[in-house]
Amino acid sequence: MIVCVCRRISDREIARHARAGLGFDEIQFELGVATQCGQCEGCARDVVAQCSAACPTAHIKPGMPFPAPAVRGVAFAG
C-alpha cells in the first residue's frame, strides 16, 4: 500500500527500513517520506512503530546477515 502519495513510498519500503533499525527521522531523510504535504506522517510513523515493536534491533548481532535468520523464521543456532 502506498503511504506517501507525494513521494510514492509504500508501507513495505518503510517497514524494510524500520526492520533494518532506522527510526522515523532516518527513514524520512533516506526516503523523503512526509517531506512534502505531510499528510502521510502519522501513517508512516505507525508503520515504523509497528515494525520497531515487532522486531527490535537489540537481538540483531553485529556481523549477522540481513535480514537476520530469526527474522526470516529460521531458528538461529549461534
Among residues 40, 47, 48, 51, the one that binds ligand FES under rule CB under 6 A: 40
Shortest Cβ 47–ligand FES spacing (Å): 12
CB < 8 Å & 24+ apart, contacts of 56-59: 57/21
Is 39 near ligand FES (CB under 6 A)? yes
Residue where the block lists cell 515504523: 48
Amino acid at 24: F
Binding flag, residue 31, ligand FES (CB under 6 A) = no
Helix (H, G, I), strand (E, B) or coil at 69: coil
Note the residues at the interface with ligand FES (CB under 6 A): 4-7, 33-40
